[in-house]
Structure formats: structure tokens, C-alpha cells
Amino acid sequence: MRHRRATLAALVAAAILCVPLPSTAAGAPAGKASAAREQAVAGKQVAAGAKRAAAQQRALRRAKQPVRARPSARAKKLARAKKPAGARALARAKKRARARIPARAFPRSRAKAPARRFPLAPPSNKPNIVFVLTDDLSWDLVDYMPNVKRLQREGVTFSNYIVTNSLCCPSRASILTGRYPHNTGIYRNTGDDGGFLAFRARGQERDTFATSLQQAGYRTALMGKYMNQYNPTRVRDALGRPYVPPGWTDWKVVGNGYPGYGYRIAREGRVVRRGWEPRDYLTTVLRRDAIGFISSAVGAGQPFMLELSTFTPHTPSTPAPRDVGRFSAVTAPRTPSFNEEDISDKPSWLRGHRRLTDEQQQRIDEHFRNRVRSVQSVDRAIGRIRRELNRLGVARNTYVVFSSDNGFHMGQHRLTPGKLTAYDPDIRVPLVVTGPGVPAGRVVSEIAENVDLCPTFTELGGTPAPATADGRSLVPFLRGLPAPADWRRAALIEHRGAVTSPADPDFPARGSGNPPTYEALRTRDSLYVEYADGEREFYDRRVDPDELDNVYDALPEARRERLTAAVAAMKTCTGVGCRVASRLGAESPLP
């Protein structure tokens, strides 16, 4: 009986621990001596197996316990001092016993799982959009931005992309809504006809590319600058949180971010104040937030639209710490219009400017160097974002768009640094697009405008543009197609009155130019400016690309009349009617 129990125990131990049983001849009865030996061997095996099983159970229990912080040497010393000698000896014995447990006793599940490279949710079929919008960036800075140059090599460059107004807020209103200033009612940065407060009061926030894309299932984000007058500490919603306009899923917007430091940013429903340390540099903070947003959207399998809106390179053009002191040999471009020799043919608001002194030119050069330094952080952000898109596997389904709200003059026509004019440095800015299906290295010379961005973004997202949009989609050019037969022949620029408020961040410095109200038409070959006081300018850009010689007085009367009629049609057009007006009577020669 005891022999059968021992044999049964050995079988159980062998089944559990995979221990081989001692072999006997098949069917041969075991003798008493043999039975005793088998019983002894089986007993030892059972005991050993039980011991190993107990050790494994203890190891499993320890593996399931939470990991505790390792005590410091001082804590260990204090703990030993409190224990009696017997307890310390017992602890040492337990430690030695644990050390003898083989490593294979611990479960493999304790190993850290490799990080996932691909999103948990299935990716969306809709393309993503990353829109990098800079502040006051002119074409002369692009040569110092290697990542933007790479965008040009890999995508489409619009060489005649014109803004509707060379002030920040009116231009941004046109970008968001696809409407001209005479339809948004936003002509300035402040006052009843300008700034965020007027934009909201006029109901313009209800129909933007953000609202359209969000309704189409996009996760949307605005990071950086929204509009002049927006301050997250002063503009609150009903719950006391920073106000977020319709259409935005993620909102990390700054009020006064021009210095690059010491700003307040709306973040997760509260206002966060940043300091003056290198880690607080605004463009770097926005770049990190942008990458975090992209990673989150991709992880959720949701298409995204990100607008990264920098304050750079707007005055004071603060560079990142790593860029201070760089480009010390760079000077502002000395184009033919720089410190123009003869301005007797210019309008009265400009004719009184004297030629720039050597000291003024040196200050212009230093300002230009700071502008070059400051855009390095933007250029690096573009490179880092594109690398993140590649890492996440969504680069081939993402459009990257680079542009500016307006340009900036630096010495042209005797003007010290500033904007506000209808001249080329102020109103013609970069627009570069790369993404799926976009032909590499293409340059589009047709007239494009910032009112075209809203319908372009919505078409890329597979949703209609707001019915009130005056602009047209640029998608045909992104597909490599020729210009539509009815494409515009002129862009409209609208400026209302001189800037008079010192609180306006674009309040012009002495000598930078502060023109009165005007409307202007810009074609590929000409610039026509019509001032409210009756003065006129016309430049034939085919022979005078620097806009040196105002030849309006030499134009035939019939052509002057056509120009006046074209401006009258453009400055009152709405929606589809703007397409007709911008053709300038296609059956007749250009005005």
C-alpha cells in the first residue's frame, strides 16, 4: 500500500515538475529492496519538486507586488539600528535565500514591452494639414531657412502670393475666413474695424476653415498667435476659462508673445505664465506643443489640422538663445529700391522722406540680422515637425504649408523698417506647400491670395468651403494641373487709414511709412494704387520690378478708366462675384 502511495506521489510530482521516473522492466514485479529504493528516490524527488514549486510561488508573489523605491544608505543604517540582533540575522538569512532562487523562476512578463511605433487606432484616410504661419516674414529671409528651401525643392512655391492687407490682423482674418477686408470688416489691428474683439463681434468666427474641418471630423489646433487684442487672461468664457473660438479642439494661444519670453499662454483651460529662461523661448515651446498634438492625434487615428502661428520674426525679432550672435556678417539686401535716389514721382505721404543716413543703414542691417537669427527657430521647428511626421508614419499623408501674414520693408524707397504699404516687399510673401500628390520643385506664377487658403484647406479635408468665401481653392495647382481657364488676373489689397494708436504693435516708427487709405490691384505685370485723397501710382513690373518709376501720368485716359472701374468692382465684390471681378474683363487687355 505504501509502495502504491509513493509511486502515485512520484507520478504527480513528475507530471507537475517534468521529473523523469526511474525505469523498471515492463510487467516485472518489484522486489522489497527495489520498492524501498524507488520509494526513497520518489520521496526525494517529491521533496525537491515541492521545494522548487514553493520557491516559484514566492517569486511570483514578489513579481506581482508594486516596485518600491530603493532605500538610501542612511535609511538602511537607521533600519538596522532599530532591529534587534535576532531580527537582523533573520533578515540576512532571508536575503541569502532569495539570492539562491534561479533567475528563470521569475516570470518573463516582468520585461518591459517595446514601445509601439504605430498608432493604436487605425489611421484616417483623410490627409493631415500642418500650417506654419509666421509674422512679418518677407521673401528675403527664405534664403536663410534650409528647411523651407527643402520644402521648395519637394513641393510647390507660389511666387505671386499676395496678402489682402499688409497688417497682421486684417490679413489673418482673411486667411481664416477666405474673405476680403471689405467683407470681414477688419482693416486694422485695433478699434471698431480691427482686432480680435471686432472680429468676434461681427460674427466672423462662426465660418472659418477651422469650423469646417472640425465638423468634417478633424482634430484642430491653434498654437501661438491668434489675433491682435486676444489676451487669455482677459478674454474668458462663461466658466472663467480662457476663451476658445469655435472650431478649435486644442487651443494653446498667447497674448503678447512678441518678446519671446515672459508671456502668458492658454493651456488646458487655464493660463500658464512662462518666464525668461532659455526653456521658455516661445517658438521652442510651441514646437514641443505641436509635436505633442500631432502624436496624440495620430495615436487616436484622427485626421488633424495644426496651425502653428509664430510671433517670429515680428519686431523686436528676438532670437533663440542658441542663435544670438550668429550671422554677424549679414546685411540687409541692397536692392535697386534700397535708399531710392529719386522719389519725386511718389505720393505725398512718401515724398518728404530724406535719404537714409549711414547710421540708419547700420541700424537696418542689425535689425535684418536679428530677423535672420529669429527665423532659425521657426526653420528648426519645421524640420523637427517633419521628422516627427516621418517617425509616426504619416508624412506621406500630410500637407505642410508655410507662409506669412504680411511682408516687411527694410530700406526700400527710403523707408526705415516697417510695412503698411502696397509695395512688393510688404504684400508679396512666401507660400510653399508640400504633401501627397504635390509636384516637386514646381513654381506657380499665377496670382494667388491669402483668401485662397480657407477654401484650399477645406477642399483638402473633403468638405465645402464657407459659402461666404471670396477666395478660390489652390488644389488644382497642388495636383500639378494648369491654371483654370477662369483664374483671376488681379489681387486686391485694401488699407484703411494711417495707424495712429501707440498701443498697436505695428505703430510705425519714424520714417517707416504710414500711408493713408488706399485700394490696390496687383497683377503679375503691374501694381496700381488708388489713394482716397486722389493720388495714384502705376508701375509696369515687366520693366520695373522694383517699382521705381510711377508712370500713372503717362497712361492713356482709357486705361486709367479701366483701372478705376476694376478697383470699384473688386472693392465691393462678394463670394463668387469676386471671381468675375478679379478677371478684369478677360475679353479685354489688362488694365
CB atoms inside a 10 Å sphere around CB 486: 12
Beta bridge partners of 208: none
pLDDT, residue 52, reads 61
Read off the pLDDT of residues 152-170 as tens digits, 9 standing for 90 and up. Answer: 999 999 999 999 999 999 9
Read off the pLDDT of residues 264-273 as tens digits, 9 standing for 90 and up. Answer: 999 989 999 9
In the predicted structure, residue 365 carries a pLDDT above the cut 60 = yes
Structure confidence at residue 509 as a pLDDT band (50, 70, 90): confident
DSSP structure string for 212-251: HHHHTT-EEEEEEE--TT--TTT-B-TTSSBP--TT-SEE
Structure confidence at residue 321 as a pLDDT band (50, 70, 90): very high
| 49 or 278: which leads in pLDDT | 278
Read off the pLDDT of residues 168-211 as tens digits, 9 standing for 90 and up. Answer: 999 999 999 999 999 999 999 998 999 999 999 999 999 999 99
Structure confidence at residue 58 as a pLDDT band (50, 70, 90): low
- Under DSSP, is residue 338 helix (H, G, I), strand (E, B) or coil? strand
pLDDT, residue 119, reads 43
Q: CA-CA distance, 148 to 157, in Å (whole number)?
A: 10
In the predicted structure, residue 35 carries a pLDDT above the cut 60 = no
pLDDT, residue 507, reads 77
- Under DSSP, is residue 385 helix (H, G, I), strand (E, B) or coil? helix
In contact, 398 and 388? CB cutoff 8 Å: no
Residue in the block written with cell 501661438: 224
Read off the pLDDT of residues 106-155 as tens digits, 9 standing for 90 and up. Answer: 344 333 434 444 444 666 789 999 999 999 999 999 999 999 999 999 99
Mean predicted confidence (pLDDT) in 457-461:
98
Read off the pLDDT of residues 381-399 as tens digits, 9 standing for 90 and up. Answer: 999 999 999 999 999 999 9
| Consecutive H or E run containing 137 | none
Please choose, from the candidates 461, 439, 465, the residue with its C-alpha nearest in 3D space to the C-alpha of residue 452.
465
Mean predicted confidence (pLDDT) in 446-461:
98
In the predicted structure, residue 300 carries a pLDDT above the cut 70 = yes
Structure confidence at residue 352 as a pLDDT band (50, 70, 90): very high
pLDDT, residue 510, reads 78
Residue 31 contacts by C-beta under 8 Å, 6 or more apart in sequence? Answer: none
pLDDT, residue 309, reads 98
pLDDT, residue 104, reads 41
Q: CA-CA distance, 398 to 281, in Å (whole number)?
A: 27
Q: Which of 57-61, 149-153, 332-336, 432-436 has the lowest mean pLDDT?
A: 57-61
In the predicted structure, residue 60 carries a pLDDT above the cut 70 = no
DSSP strands (E only) in 314-358: none
Q: CA-CA distance, 529 to 532, in Å (whole number)?
A: 10
Provide the grid cell at 28.
Answer: 516485472
Residue 89 contacts by C-beta under 8 Å, 6 or more apart in sequence? Answer: none
Mean predicted confidence (pLDDT) in 89-98:
54
In the predicted structure, residue 402 carries a pLDDT above the cut 90 = yes
Side-chain half-sphere exposure of 587, counting CA atoms within 13 A: 0
In the predicted structure, residue 29 carries a pLDDT above the cut 90 = no
Q: CA-CA distance, 553 to 559, in Å (whole number)?
A: 11
CB atoms inside a 10 Å sphere around CB 424: 22
DSSP structure string for 65-105: SPP-PPPPHHHHHHHHHHS-HHHHHHHHHHHHHHHTS-GGG
Please choose, from the candidates 70, 23, 13, the residue with its C-alpha nearest in 3D space to the C-alpha of residue 43.
13
Structural domains of the chain sorted by starting position, each given as residue range(s) with its CATH number in brackets: 129-486 (3.40.720.10)
Q: CA-CA distance, 182 to 214, in Å (whole number)?
A: 26
Q: Is 522 exposed, middle or buried (0-12, 13-18, 19+ CB in 10 A)?
A: buried
Catalytic positions: 168
DSSP structure string for 390-457: HHTT-GGGEEEEEEES---BSSBTTPPSB--SSSHHHHB--EEEE-TTPPTTEEE-S-EEGGGHHHHH
In the predicted structure, residue 494 carries a pLDDT above the cut 90 = yes
| 510 or 368: which leads in pLDDT | 368
C-alpha distances (whole Å) from 281 to each of 147, 268, 274, 384, 395 are 20, 20, 9, 16, 27
- What is the average pLDDT value for the chain, to the nearest integer? 86
Q: Which of 40-54, 94-108, 169-183, 302-316 has the lowest mean pLDDT?
A: 94-108
Read off the pLDDT of residues 565-578 as tens digits, 9 standing for 90 and up. Answer: 999 999 999 999 99
In the predicted structure, residue 377 carries a pLDDT above the cut 80 = yes
